[in-house]
Structure 1
Amino acid sequence: MEYIHGRTGDQILGSTSIPAERKGVYQYMATAIQKLLRIPIPPELPPPPPPSALNNDVFRLVMFLDTEAPRIYQNADQLELHLNTIFITAHDICFTELLYLHMGSIYEQLKGLSNEPMVFCYGDIHPGNFIINDDGHITIIDFSETSILPSSFARYAIVSTSKLSRG
């Protein structure tokens, strides 16, 4: 691992009470996440594929216990069916929030995950994982909770992180 020059978002936030500087950290983070979401994901990934919920690999996201998916999925339809089953049987608040983000109503099941664009979903969004140098260049670190997933999961990661940071 190489040294990355700069300070983490946590270090910057801990060293300033100036609202504009604090806001700047979150703006840098948002820009970096937007860039990740714009990375094109080819429909057929060459071997070895990156971690994905849909290629027989375990994926990690904050919505799961210990951040790891409880099973392996071959496609978005399997993922959708499993999440809907969990929602119906457990009424887990995390899945309720995901359904709300996806459908706009907590009373409806997930539908159409396979129709959503696949995105590079970074699931560990907190200021300590973003290094900002003096020139304004930002580097994201700690990709352990990153996977290629339907776009609803990226929205979930962003919203759940903002709720945790306010909470």
Structure 2
Amino acid sequence: MADLFAQYRGFVWGWLYRRVGRDFDLAEDLTMDTFINVGEALAREPGGRIDLDNPHRWLAVQARWTLSDYYSSQRRNYAKHERLLGPDEEGALPDFPATDELSCPEETVTGDLSALDLVAGLTDTERELIVLRFFDGLPMTRIQKRMGLGPSQSYTVLRKALATMRANAAITWELPATVVELETAA
């Protein structure tokens, strides 16, 4: 693997550099991701070797898959961003005013929940799994390999992390307990 990297790193970097709009840093990151994928492909082969007629072509295919994964994750992240924010918003979640005749102004809900509020109380393992799964978009099998978790253990950690995040996102309503308190509040 080290010989393959040393011999063909420049070729893979140049191939990617021409396709990412001459962005040096992005080409370097994608080159590293490509060689991670190459290492995983070699690990799946018996004996850890692949006999290639044309290593340039095989590495270009690997780089193309890596580039495709990158662009599909960017498209997915952009689509999520567009769904969350309207054209006039700059990252702030909207307020939900109580405007009907039965509501009081104090029932207005403010949507200023931050990501730090959501991940408060998560362990380091839970945070890492959430980042790899939802921000990096990795499948659970790759997360399990990277973190050294078994399938059931990884899904248990994910389930506990999501339950904690749901609890942190819960809105608590301060409503009067009795009719008398309700009338005096109005």
TM-score normalised by structure 2 residue count: 0.23
Name which one, 1 or 2, has greater alpha-carbon Rg.
2
Quick check: which one's helix share is greater? 2
Which structure carries more relative contact order (alpha carbon 8 Å, separation 6+)? 1
TM-score normalised by structure 1 residue count: 0.25
Quick check: which one's strand share is greater? 1
